[in-house]
Structure 1
Amino acid sequence: MAKATKVSRREFLVASAALAGASMLTLRHAVPALADTPTPQPTPDLEKLRGTTINYLGWEGYDYAGALKPLTETYDITVNSTYGGNNEEIFSKLKAGSAGQYDVISIYHGTIEALYVNNLIQPIDTERLTHWNDLYPAFRNQPWQVREGKVYSVPFTFGNTPCTYNPEFVPDGIESWNDLLKPEFKGKIVTLDVANQELMVAMLAVGIDINRFVTREELQQAKEWYLKLKPQLRAIVPSYGEMADVLARKEAWLTSGSWTAIIGWAREKGVELKYVIPKEGVAGWCDNYLIPVGANVDAAYAFINQMTSPEGARELAVYLGQGMTNSKVVPLLPPEMQAEFADMDAVLAKTPFPPDPPLEPEDPSIASNAEWLQTWEDIKIS
């Protein structure tokens, strides 16, 4: 059985990227898990791991027990999980930890550059990935996963971050991100304490293309827009779980950027929410598994292979309602979900995965990651 060191409840996914009119990946269908998840064929690596522990660091849910049953039940492997409330926290925990403390991590694609620059991750041998060739081609050669011809991450899920709202108070949702500035929404918006996600909402609202590095001038434009939004906010919360709670208590009516997972969490508390993609577009993201320096690589590959298998990925898709990178997952999904993910090529064509702000821009006109973070801090204290 998996055990977890809880940092915060249901804290998933921080996003960035942009697309206009993207297909949305809705959440949490009330469907059963696979009745019989195939047991992995015995292999020397798995036999070697029998009765041992795999140490996982990352987002809660990406270590979903239902997907890991073939390892935890058949091989008596324990998954010891440590969660981070955002990508920066996951990065900080890995950097502060000792070599070998974690065997596998999950993180957003925009954070991989920082992990690489700080020598915190090791190359992945795709020959040891049993489902590598089943990934959609778009997820096998992204600029953020390949360095000097070596692969450093295994993408496993992707989606986007729309505006989520309570139709009891906002019957028709919003058409534009700028609708959040309307007087009737004063004090009724909840947002996440994540610089990139929120500043990208602001950039979309003012017409900035975020599928590239943005300039300092554009960052300032985003700041000015967000300062207009700030009086509209009920709360800036540290996690998506807290966002769901604020909406479930009806303290807020809608969000800026969000994640569709909160729809399922609010439903569990008796509140129905909906989502909308404003006309300016939303943010796209892709989450990855990576192997830290010093990891037990046998443990890491066993974990990644199970979670990216068609059966393991199917369990994650049903549990989270997110798009999966394994092309063989869709036929295993319940019929209502198959319809959503049937034309994945079209979905991927509308879902770019832009880079995070550079740590040290070569062009002095480009805003650095530190400047994005400082801008967000300035907004919060203004």
Structure 2
Amino acid sequence: MDFPIHRRNFLKTIAAGAAFGALGPLGRAQAAEDLVWMTWENLAKDDYLKAFLADGKVSLTKNFIGTDDEQFAKLRAGGASSVDLITPGLDKVEYYTASGLLQPIDLAKVPNAARLYETFKTTKLGKKDGQTYGIPFYWGINPIVYRADLMDAEPDWSVFFEGDKYAGKLAMRDYALEAIMIAALYLGIPRDRMFQMDDAELAEVKKALMAQKKLLRTYWNSIADLTNLFASGEVVCAFSWVPPYYDLKARGLNMGMAKPKAGVIGWCDTVAIPAGVTGERLDDTLSLVNYLLGPEYGAKLAVGGPYAQSTDSALAGLSEEQRSKIFTNDLSIMNSFVWKENPARYNDWVALWNEVKAS
């Protein structure tokens, strides 16, 4: 299964601890107390995990990944027998469960899971047959970022389809899923239809995206390139990730971040346990999961990320500024979230997107 490019592909992937090939059964037998977490580099900083490891009962090997599909491929190739915890996207858990790679998580053994925000308790994603296979772990939004000094007003999704005044200075990400979601939001297609659109609805989306293309400076792939385009003034408004907003503000630029009322694209990653983890290793892994949803880790993540946990465990200890950076100062924003799902006709979505780009 090929996954779309993940928003964090720009993160540098480095080797940590033992190489993946050395994490087989023999390697684990030699260090049975060592848990192996396959995750993103930015989530497993030593300082974040120091409190969990302080008593010395377990150690932790971090196996860093660069993309969701890399993680999935490693597990399918046999890595599930060598790893205790993984970090799949909330919308990707179904691929792992369909391949029999995960085990259901006993939430009674993860007390901090009771502190999940309501939207994460009730989501149908990450679950199968009434059981949880991926616990929402941390989350954020993909907003509109813009040069407030070069635009007249805060934009909404319509700027990418009707913003003739800014023609040639707009940017969208080169990603079929998000591009089509945004067009659907602009067109007013109900959220409960968004991932089940029929031919007529997809035809309207294609028409809108064709019109949009004429207004764009570029489709971006690299967040570093987008940041530079903002800095030079070549792009004044883009569908973006959050980092350029803070990066450019730190450089002294007057940046704005818009969260359209029509809907904001939210993302969330989970923690999930491979099927072969049993016994004492499973108990230790569940303790790690509980720590990752708890206050010590959450406070470190909020300040160092800045990213928000999917629980409220750390919230009381954060300043108003810190809450603002991770969007927890006003949790009503979650009411506008549109979570990514896997469209029933995703091949048709990709084909449509490729037609738009080739036009």
TM bin, normalised by shorter chain, reads 0.7 to 0.9
The count of corresponding residues between Structure 1 and Structure 2 is 326
Question: For residue 194 of structure 1, what is the aligned residue in structure 2?
Answer: 175
In the alignment, does 2:88 pair up with 1:103?
no
Aligned counterpart, 1:286:
268
Alignment partner of 1:228 out of 179, 196, 211: 211
Is the Cα contact below 8 Å between 2:120 and 2:310 reproduced in 1? Answer: yes
Unaligned runs of 5+ in 1: 1-6, 12-47, 359-367
Matched-pair contact (CA < 8 Å) for 2:315–2:323: yes
What SS does the aligned partner of 2:145 have? Answer: strand
Does 2:184 align with 1:203?
A: yes
* 2:286 matched residue in structure 1: 301
- Equivalent positions of 1:1-382 (< 5 A) are 8-10=9-11, 52=34, 54-57=36-39, 59-71=40-52, 75=56, 77-85=59-67, 87-88=68-69, 90-96=71-77, 98-212=79-193, 213-256=196-239, 258-268=240-250, 271-294=253-276, 297=282, 300-338=285-323, 341-342=328-329, 344=331, 346-351=332-337, 353=339, 355-358=341-344, 368-382=345-359
Map of 1:34 onto structure 2:
none
| Counterpart-to-counterpart distance in 1, 2:73 and 2:221 | 16
* Deviation digits for residues 111-169 of structure 1 (CA, Å, limit 9, x no counterpart): 22222223232211223324122223442342112212321011122333221112232
Counterpart in the other structure of 1:38: none
Given the superposition, is the C-alpha separation of residues 343 and 283 from structure 1 closer, same or farther in structure 2, using an over 3 Å criterion? closer
- Write out per-residue CA displacement over residues 238-273 of structure 1, whole angstroms, 9 at most, x where no aligned residue: 3545433443454422212x2223322334555453
Q: CA deviation at 1:298?
A: 5.3
Structure 1 consecutive aligned stretches of length 4 or more whose deviation exceeds 6 Å: none
Letter in 1 for 2:349: W
Query: Quick one: distance in 1 between partners of 2:222 and 2:37?
Result: 23
Q: Is the 1:310–1:328 contact (alpha carbons within 8 Å) kept by the matching residues of 2?
A: yes
Query: Structure 1 residues 228, 285: closer, same or farther in 2, change over 3 A?
Result: same
Residues 193 and 89 of structure 1: is their aligned pair in 2 closer, same or farther, counting only changes over 3 Å? farther
TM-score (norm 2): 0.77
Sort the Cα spacing of 1:165 and 1:338 in 2 relative to 1 into closer, same or farther, 3 A. Answer: closer
Q: Matches of 1:178 and 1:328 in 2, distance apart?
A: 38
What is the DSSP-based 3-state SS (H/G/I as helix, E as strand, rest coil) of the residue aligned with 1:106? coil
8 A Cα contact 1:55 1:101, kept in partner: no
After superposition, the Cα gap between the structure-2 partners of 1:99 and 1:321, relative to the gap in structure 1 and judged at 3 Å, is closer
Unmatched 5+ residue regions in structure 2? 1-7, 13-30
1:37 maps to none
Q: Which has the higher helix share?
A: 2
Q: Please state whether the residue corresponding to 1:104 is helix, strand or coil.
A: coil
In structure 2, the CA distance between the partners of 1:376 and 1:289, relative to structure 1 (3 Å rule), is farther
Partner deviation per Cα, 1:292-322 (whole Å, 9 max, x = no partner): 3445645643442222111211222233344
Check conservation: 1:158, 1:285, Cα contact below 8 A.
yes
Indicate conservation of the 8 Å contact 2:36/2:82, yes or no: no
- Is the 1:285–1:353 contact (alpha carbons within 8 Å) kept by the matching residues of 2? yes
Instruction: Render the CA deviation track for 1:14-40: whole Å, top value 9, x for unaligned.
Output: xxxxxxxxxxxxxxxxxxxxxxxxxxx
RMSD: 3.2
Q: The residue matched to 2:349 in structure 1 has which SS? A: helix
Amino acid at match of 2:197: V
State the one-letter code of the partner of 1:70. Answer: A
Identity fraction in percent: 24
Larger mean CA deviation between 288-297 and 305-314 belongs to: 288-297
Residue identity in the other structure for 1:341: T
